[in-house]
């Protein structure tokens, strides 16, 4: 309880907080990580064939079906207690949510304007790059196994996520960097700290003077820069911090 009390003190004295989340938080809601989802009919495919521009160019239908199956699985899941605790934290202190997850659970839990570094699986955008973006459900597809077309230029639509080899959104990255530089406390939740460049954000916050708190059941690459490490499931630890 001493560590819990210490983090409560840090949050109570903070003017600005960053919450940085990874796949571990979603896993507590039953959402498998990208590679863990390569089971069943998809077990014979390499991740790179399903999540690269080259893979989509080679077989748009295959990639679209893969993401449709993931969207269907995500819709069966609900935000867990950690997501709701983060939303409550936003109501009490100026808190920016930065996530590596693409499932949209932060928004579904009521979080305000989460920064989605790797995009959102329920959105689509133009594969040709005309600039169109929209909800997948708003697109009309004659065959759910065939990628719909961009309503602006009639090219294929693609999932609005960051594929292997692609750069993060410059706008999202700039917002995340600014939030980390301004933060007094950075809560790092459910991430191994292995996926770059996103994993560099807690270190940026630390270098700018923020107190780093790592929350998760297992050791991470970011434990060494943390002022406090709370071992446990996010859905159990977060509610204690904001109770």
118 catalytic per annotation = yes
Residue showing tokens 């109770």: 243
Q: Reduce the DSSP state of residue 83 to 3 states and report it.
A: helix
**Are 74 and 102 contacting, i.e. CB atoms less than 8 angstroms apart?**
no
The C-alpha torsion from 53 through 31 and 33 to 25, rounded to 10°, is 120
Cβ density class 138-169: b for 16+ within 10 Å, e for less? eeeeeeeeebbbbeeeeebbbbbbbbeeeebb
- Token readout for 165 is 């080899």
> Which one of the listed residues 12, 84, 106, 118 is annotated catalytic?
118
> Residue 178: what are its φ and ψ, rounded to 5°?
-65, -40
Q: Which of 77, 78, 81, 55 is nearest to 66 (CA)?
A: 55
Q: Catalogue the active-site residues.
A: 118
């Amino acid at each position: 309880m001493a560590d819990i009390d210490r983090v409560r003190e840090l949050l109570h004295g903070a003017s600005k907080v960053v919450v940085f989340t990874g796949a571990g938080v979603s896993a507590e809601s039953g959402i498998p990580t990208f590679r863990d989802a390569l089971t069943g009919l998809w077990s014979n495919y390499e991740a790179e064939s399903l999540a690269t521009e080259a893979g989509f160019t080679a077989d748009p239908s295959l990639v679209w079906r893969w993401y449709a199956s993931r969207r269907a699985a995500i819709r069966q899941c609900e935000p867990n207690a950690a997501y709701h605790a983060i939303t409550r934290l936003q109501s009490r202190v100026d808190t920016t949510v930065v996530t590596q997850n693409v499932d949209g659970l932060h928004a579904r839990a009521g979080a305000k304007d989460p920064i989605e570094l790797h995009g959102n699986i329920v959105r689509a955008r133009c594969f040709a790059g005309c600039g169109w973006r929209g909800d997948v459900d708003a697109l009309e597809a004659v065959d759910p196994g065939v990628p719909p077309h961009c309503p602006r230029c009639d090219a294929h639509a693609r999932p609005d996520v960051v594929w292997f080899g692609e750069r993060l959104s410059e706008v999202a990255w700039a917002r995340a960097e600014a939030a980390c530089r301004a933060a007094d406390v950075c809560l790092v939740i459910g991430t191994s700290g292995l996926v770059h460049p996103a994993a560099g954000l807690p270190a940026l916050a630390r270098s700018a003077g923020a107190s780093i708190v790592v929350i998760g059941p297992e050791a991470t690459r970011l434990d060494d820069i943390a002022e406090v490490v709370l071992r446990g499931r996010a859905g159990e630890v977060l509610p204690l911090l904001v109770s």
